[in-house]
Amino acid sequence: MTLSVSIRHPLAHFALDLSFEAGPGVTAIFGRSGAGKTTLVNAVAGMLRPAEGRIALGGQMLSDRSHFVPPHKRRIGYVFQDGRLFPHLTVRQNLLYGRWFSGAGADLGRIVEMLGLGMLMDRRPARLSGGEKQRVAIGRALLCAPRLLLLDEPLAALDGARKAEILPYLERLREEGMPILYVSHSVAEVMRLAARVILLDAGRITGSGAPADMLSDPASGLAQSEVGALIPARVAARDPDGLARLDTAAGPLYLPTQDPVGTVLNIRIHSQDVMIALSPPVGISALNILPAVVEQVIPRGHEALIRLRLGPEALLARITARSATALGLVPGMPCHAILKTVAIADHSVSEGVTTGVFSARSR
């Protein structure tokens, strides 16, 4: 199932003017507030008819100059920021409302189990936490047997604890294989969930690609965040002192993870936590020192972004412009990347799936 969008629609300060395709899995629509993200998903859902262009899903035309399928006939699930549950209905009744729209007898038991809703079925929304409400909203959307799921900032209104509660359920949902458009301006959510990122700014697509590629691209909007790399790794061994050795394509890394040997992780490395040395340093406490090659130097006022190539992996280092000049950094120069002490960011660790996330933080 593939979503195909090519539309143009005037807004107050700019025109939404974009084209893209989204296949199975999570496609994140990333951009700051006011970039046109919600307008885009409203057009896909049928809540807005674009002035020009076309929207098709799985070969069915949903919207073009002469044809417009109303929202209730599109079989698209839509989850809003605030859940929008019916306050006078129980969780069970809210869920069955979604199934009523499908006309296909969607599997209530499977959805309830997948989202962990069994103990909540007789409660009304007033007795649910924010995370529980969002899980019910997702379940209701799934029970309409959607061909496509739209998630518009589903975690934006939640605190850190509630986000940590619901993220594992979103990961399970990702494994279902249906196309999902996930609207967000959170780099952490995008890295954890998305297979592809589309960057949106003032109604136009400014970039797209895999999250790891976008993070290490200095021209990307994602690279404006503090995160500078997403490197796949596998827990290879555990040392007596509690550190684990992780094998990566860039070289071995040592991290304080409790994940069992064989676990596959993504290591999130912040650009300000990377130091650069022209020769292998000695007499230093850092354990994670990897050979690299300077690929790009991007001056940014008193700072400089240095894109490093570590075998097949890329990494961004944010250093002062004075340091970049003192080291004489130019493309093609061999060097070493020094990663400061790495600590687990508890709110970012995946549970129940084979992909986890670590966050490199300076100590």
CA distance 192 to 268: 10
**Do 3-209 and 227-360 share a fold?**
no
Question: What is the tens place of the pLDDT at every residue in 106-128?
Answer: 678 888 888 888 888 899 988 98
Place of tokens 């040592």: 254
CA distance 275 to 33: 33
CA distance 20 to 7: 9
How high is the pLDDT of residue 276? 95
**Cα angle at 295 between 292 and 297, to 5 degrees?**
115
User: Bridge partners of 318?
Assistant: 305
How high is the pLDDT of residue 159? 77
Whole-number percent of the chain with pLDDT over 70: 87
The DSSP call for residue 259 is P
CATH number of 3-209: 3.40.50.300
Whole-number percent of the chain with pLDDT over 90: 26
How high is the pLDDT of residue 49? 93
* Phi, psi dihedrals of residue 327, rounded to the nearest 5°: -80, -15
- Other CB atoms within 10 A of residue 249 CB: 11
How high is the pLDDT of residue 353? 32
Of 270, 314, 280, 274, the residue nearest 295 (C-alpha): 314
The residue count for the chain: 363
Question: What is the tens place of the pLDDT at every residue in 197-253?
Answer: 998 888 899 888 887 777 767 666 565 555 567 788 889 998 888 788 889 888 898
CA distance 144 to 106: 7
- Other CB atoms within 10 A of residue 42 CB: 18
How high is the pLDDT of residue 170? 82
CA distance 297 to 303: 11
Residue ranges of domains in the chain? 3-209, 227-360
Rg of the chain in Å (alpha carbons) = 23
Tokens standing for 307? 């894109």
Mean pLDDT of the chain: 82
Q: Are strands 179-184 and 148-152 parallel, antiparallel or unpaired?
A: parallel
Q: How many angstroms separate the Cα of 14 from the Cα of each of 17, 90, 99? A: 9, 42, 38
Does residue 77 have a pLDDT over 80?
Answer: yes
* Phi, psi dihedrals of residue 5, rounded to the nearest 5°: -130, 130
How high is the pLDDT of residue 157? 75
- Mean pLDDT of the 184-193 span: 79
Question: What is the tens place of the pLDDT at every residue in 249-265?
Answer: 888 988 887 778 888 87
Q: Considering the entire predicted model, what is its pTM?
A: 0.70
Does residue 103 have a pLDDT over 80?
Answer: no
Tokens standing for 33? 């507030």
Question: What is the tens place of the pLDDT at every residue in 144-170?
Answer: 888 898 998 888 877 777 777 778 878
Q: Are strands 25-30 and 179-184 parallel, antiparallel or unpaired?
A: parallel
Region of 36 on the Ramachandran plot (φ > 0 left; ψ -120 to 50 alpha; else beta): left
**Alpha helices, DSSP H, located in the chain:** 37-45, 91-102, 108-114, 130-142, 160-174, 187-193, 211-215, 321-327
**Alpha helices, DSSP H, located in 153-278:** 160-174, 187-193, 211-215
Of 226, 251, 221, the residue nearest 312 (C-alpha): 251
First to last CA, the chain: 46
Better pLDDT: 351 or 54: 54
Q: What is the largest CA-CA distance in the chain?
A: 72
Question: What is the tens place of the pLDDT at every residue in 334-352?
Answer: 999 998 654 333 333 333 2
Place of tokens 């069915």: 60
Does residue 10 have a pLDDT over 70?
Answer: yes
CATH number of 227-360: 2.40.50.100
